[in-house]
Structures are given as structure tokens and as C-alpha cells.
Amino acid sequence: MAANNKFLPEKKSVAIVGCPFSGGQPKAGVDQGPIHLVQAGLIDQIEGLGYEVTFDGHHQFEDVSALADPPIGILKNPRLVSKVSKAVSEVVKQHASNGKIPVTIGGDHSLAMGTISGTLSQYPEAVVVWIDAHADLNTIETTTTGNIHGMPVAFLLGLSTLPEYSWLPSSPPLLTPSKIVYIGLRDVDAGEKALLREHGIRAFSMHEVDRYGIGKVVDMALDTVNPARDKPVHLSFDVDALDPSVAPSTGTPVRGGLTFREGHYICEAIHETGCLVALDIMEVNPSLADAASVAQTVAVGCSLVRSALGETLL
């Protein structure tokens, strides 16, 4: 039985935002992630939890894919990523303003610029729980790859600004360092470590998961950003937070990740707060493994969504 939500109408409704987009990173296939998640029955599964589900088909990005888009510095596809995220931001805000929980299925994690800005424009007091092996905090100055999926948090915090991203407010930014917390980190670039320290951004790496256990880590993480459990929560879940043995088919796997249960526990515990207002499931790439591993990764994407929306074990 799903817990009552503190911010949403009693009639439970979810809007699926399907984002077949891969422009924030170089590997083909992550744009097929949302198609696989829907084909695996995600919508029926959410309806099975008692939600009314809106899904108007996957987002069509073709009008922007033909765009002339030379690199800015070493940033790849900078205009394309910006336009797509801006469109996603508007859709997410629209669904949120209608009292629905936007569940965005990616697609690469650059999309979180869109989803989180959409949530914050509807709920300015919302906090972000970011589950990832990576901090995705590189700025234009610190990125060594130029892949924008490693940079969305820096844009959201206003640490990176470009005229091409002027739709994203930077002074003041929508997101501030005290409103985001990370769980699952284990592959953080040197520049990102410096930024985490400099801005006092709270992060629970796999080291803390090992030391305290996931139950305590989620409590501590929520205590830092949402101590009274009275603020809306946006959960942005990169499936590479999970160990590659659990979610093998993703673009930047890193060993030593969350177990199946640790990942699902995070989603269950966020659901139990009654504060979840938006969810992202990102970086499922169905072309990077054998069929069984792809099916396993897609199934885990679906089950994380169900856990965050109130599926319980008993």
C-alpha cells in the first residue's frame, strides 16, 4: 500500500516522460533505453500500483537533431543538449503543476538539467537526491571528456554558464549546494572532488555505504537536505550507481557499486517519506551487453521505479 504523498493530490497520478536522447555522451544506444523500459511493461506496472498513468509517447527530438552544433571548448553537442533539456524542463514543470509525478526515463543524465529545473520551477523548495557512481559536477573548466552528462549538476548550481544555456537561471541558480545530496559515488574526478569540498556539497560514497549500511546512509542523507521531511524530493537515479553485476548495460559502469537491494532500499525509503515529487531513471543503454544482461538492466530500471512509487516486499 503506497504511503500518502505530502505534496500531491490523493488521486495518485504519474506522467511518463520518455526521453530517447544520447547527446550528452558518445555511446549510441542510450536513446533506446526509454523504449525498452516501456516495452518491458513499465506503464502497466505503475498502473498496477494504483496510479493513473499518462504517457503521450516518447519525446520527439528530431527538430533539434539536425542542428549545426560545433563544440564549445571541448563540450560536445552543447546546443543540442541545451535545447533538449529546455524542452524536458517545460514538460516536467507542466506535469508537476497538474499534480502528477513526472517519471523521466532516459536517455543520458544530461537530461537532469531539464528534469530538475522543471521540478524546481514548480517546487522552489524541493531538494535533490542524486544516486550515481559519478558526481556529474564537472564545469566547463574541469571536464576532461566534454561529455555533458558529466556536467548537469554544475549547470544547475550555476557553476557553469554559457549563453546557450541562458534559459537555466544562474544568478541566483534554481539549485543551491545545500539542496542536493549524493549517494553511491565512487568515480569522482579530481576537479569534482575540489568542487564538492569548496561548496560543501554533501555526499555519501560507497565508503559510507560500507561503513554505516544503506539504512543509516539514507537517513543521514535525508537529514542533511530534508531534516523535517517537509520538503519535496526529486530523486535522480543513474543506474550506474548499481554494481555492474546488477545493471551491466550502461555507458560508464564502475565496479564496487550498490547491490540490488541497496538500490531498491533507497527508492523504498524515499517513497516512505511521502515527499517524492519527481523521479528520473537514467543511463539504461540496451546496446552494451548481451540480451540477458540488457533484459536484466531494463528490469532493474522498472523495479526501481516501482519501489520509488510504493511497491513493498510484503
Report the interface residues with ligand ARG, using CB under 6 A. Answer: 109, 134, 136, 138, 143, 145, 147, 149-150, 189, 238, 240, 252, 283
* Positions of E strands within 132-206: 180-185, 202-205
Contact 277, 101 (CB under 8 A): yes
> Which window, 32-40, 47-55, 66-74, 232-240, contacts Mn ion (CB under 5 A)?
232-240
Number of residues that bind Mn ion (CB under 5 A): 7
Q: Cell 513526472 belongs to which residue?
A: 102
Residue 234 contact partner, candidates Mn ion, ligand ARG, none, CB within 5 to 8 A by sort of partner: none
Complex with Mn ion: residue 240 or 262, whichever CB lies closer: 240
Is 109 within any annotated ligand binding site?
yes
Site for Mn ion in 127-186 (CB under 5 A): 132-134, 136
Residues belonging to the active site: 109, 132, 134, 136, 149, 238, 240, 283
Complex with ligand ARG: residue 139 or 224, whichever CB lies closer: 139
Contact call for residue 240 and Mn ion (CB under 5 A): yes
Binding mask 118-137 for Mn ion (x = CB under 5 A): --------------xxx-x-
* Positions of E strands within the chain: 13-19, 52-54, 101-106, 127-131, 180-185, 202-205, 233-238, 276-282
Residue 147 contact partner, candidates Mn ion, ligand ARG, none, CB within 5 to 8 A by sort of partner: ligand ARG
**Helix (H/G/I), strand (E/B), else coil: 169:** coil
Complex with Mn ion: residue 243 or 311, whichever CB lies closer: 243
Q: Which of 31, 208, 238, 243 binds Mn ion (CB under 5 A)?
A: 238
Closest CA to 236 of 61, 27, 92: 92
Q: Cell 543521514 belongs to which residue?
A: 220
* Distant-in-sequence, close-in-space partners of 297: CB < 8 Å, separation ≥ 6: 239, 247, 248, 249, 250, 284, 286, 289
By the 10 Å C-beta count (0-12 exposed, 13-18 middle, 19+ buried), 239 is classed as: buried
Is 207 within any annotated ligand binding site?
no
Site for Mn ion in 92-121 (CB under 5 A): 109
Return d(Cα 278, Cα 232) in angstroms, integer.
9
Residues annotated in the binding site, as ranges?
Answer: 109, 132, 134, 136, 238, 240
Residues annotated in the binding site for Mn(2+), as ranges?
Answer: 109, 132, 134, 136, 238, 240
